Amino acid sequence: MAMPLQMWGERFLGGPVSSLFQQKENAFVAEPLDPLWSRSREAEILGQMAQISGIRLINIEVECRTNTCRLQWTQNAPVFVEGELRGMPNVVHEALLARLGYTQMIPLGTAGDAGAMTSLTYLPRQQD
């Protein structure tokens, strides 16, 4: 289960999270569960994350409800490889969105400590 948003903010940001993420979390928690769609979407997201190279995952948590999926992942901090910074959370996020067929950017929250970065996003259900 993903870290509660308040704890996420206190641990990584040293204070409250933005109102955007608080609104997203409140809406997510209030959503009923669509068991069939949520299980298949969770599996699809995990499968797509597994195919993104160089992200050096430590942990990943995906939970889908009826209209939204909450995705939180922790990865080792980005490193320089051949003069290029690899494993940046925003690059991972953009790659995942493209793999899942999203055409618009979706907000991403990222914070780090002790050589790791944790990212949080809420993915809306796409029209079938």
Q: Output the CA–CA distances (angstroms, integers) from residue 22 to 27, 67, 79, 90, 119, in the order listed.
A: 9, 17, 31, 20, 15
CA dihedral 49, 32, 4, 45 (to 10 degrees): 0
pTM of structure:
0.80
How many domains, in total, are found in the chain?
1
Q: What are the tens digits of pLDDT across the range 25-60?
A: 889 999 999 999 999 999 999 999 999 887 888 889
- pLDDT over 70 percentage in the chain: 74
Taking the C-alpha atoms of residue 104 and residue 114, their distance in angstroms, rounded to an integer, is 32
Q: Which domain holds residue 105?
A: 5-124
Q: What are the tens digits of pLDDT across the range 74-100?
A: 888 766 666 666 666 778 888 899 999
